[in-house]
Amino acid sequence: MIIRRHRIIKSEKGASAVEFALILPILIILVFGIVQFGIAFNNYITITHAAREGARIAAVDLNNPDLENIIIERAFPVQITEDDIVISTPEGTNIGDPVEVEITYNISITIPLVGSWDIPLKNKAIMRLEYYE
């Protein structure tokens, strides 16, 4: 009887399944975290590009009535709105004065088993006015 009990305790059948079940939630959290971080970083790069393009267009043609729509097009696939865009000339509208284009966008990051967060992405591009009527 003692020998038989010793064989049952020494058996390692199913040990790898138990170990995998313990590690799986951590692995899922890690993989989804990496994917969500990649999506957020891609959105940040897209917003940076859109702000830079908008500042360049504003530096050449500040009175362009489609300036905000052009910035929204450049931010595709990020769905920004006109409320997310701020175009300003803090020092005036003389040639050589800076024009600033600032974009603010909130992204929601969701990781299974952990939760979700709203993270604000914000970027500003500054260029000097080249021409102004």
The per-residue pLDDT for 11 is 66
pLDDT at 71: 92
> Is 124:90 a contact under the CB 8 Å cutoff?
no
Half-sphere exposure of 132 (CA within 13 A, CB side): 15
User: Would you list the domain boundaries of the chain?
Assistant: 15-128
Does position 64 have pLDDT exceeding 70, yes or no?
A: yes
At residue 132 the predicted structure's pLDDT band, cuts being 50, 70 and 90, is low
Q: What is the mean pLDDT of the chain?
A: 86
Tell which wins on pLDDT, 93 or 41.
Answer: 41
What does the DSSP assignment read for the chain? -HHHHHHHHH--TTHHHHHHHHHHHHHHHHHHHHHHHHHHHHHHHHHHHHHHHHHHHHHH-TT-TTHHHHHHHHTTTS---GGGEEEE-TT-SSTT-EEEEEEEEEEEEEETTTEEEEEEEEEEEEEE-----
pLDDT in tens, 11-60: 677 788 888 889 999 999 999 999 999 999 999 999 999 999 999 999 99
CB neighbourhood size of 69 (10 A): 12
Choose from 71-80, 90-99, 123-132 the range with maximum mean pLDDT: 71-80
What is the pLDDT, as a whole number, of residue 9? 63
